[in-house]
Structure 1
C-alpha cells in the first residue's frame, strides 16, 4: 500500500487518478470479507474504503 500511495502522489497533478481509480486491498480483508465488500482502498486516499465498483463517488 505504501508503495502504491507513493506512486499515486507522482500522478496527482494529472487527471489520471480521477479518470482511472486505482484500488488495493489487503489479502486478509479479501479472504475474510470477500471482494465485493468495502475492503478496497483508493491509493490516493488509503484511509477510505470503497467497493470495487466505485465510480468516483465516495462510499463509507
Structure 2
C-alpha cells in the first residue's frame, strides 16, 4: 500500500513514531510505523470533520 505523504512537513516522522512505539514495548518495523501514522492521520481528519460539522 503506497501513499504519497510528505513526511518532511510532518511533525511526527515515521522514524520518531518508531522510536516512540519501541520505547513502549511495541516491536514494529519502519513500514508498520508508516502505516500506523497513515491510519492515525485518517482518524484525526475524521474527528476534526465531525467536530466541525457539529459546530455548524
TM-score interval, normalised by the smaller of the two chains = under 0.3
Structure with more strand by fraction: 1
Q: Which is greater in Rg?
A: 2
Per chain length, whose mean CA-contact separation is higher, i.e. which structure has more relative contact order (CA < 8 Å, sep 6+)? 1
Q: TM-score, normalised by structure 1?
A: 0.23
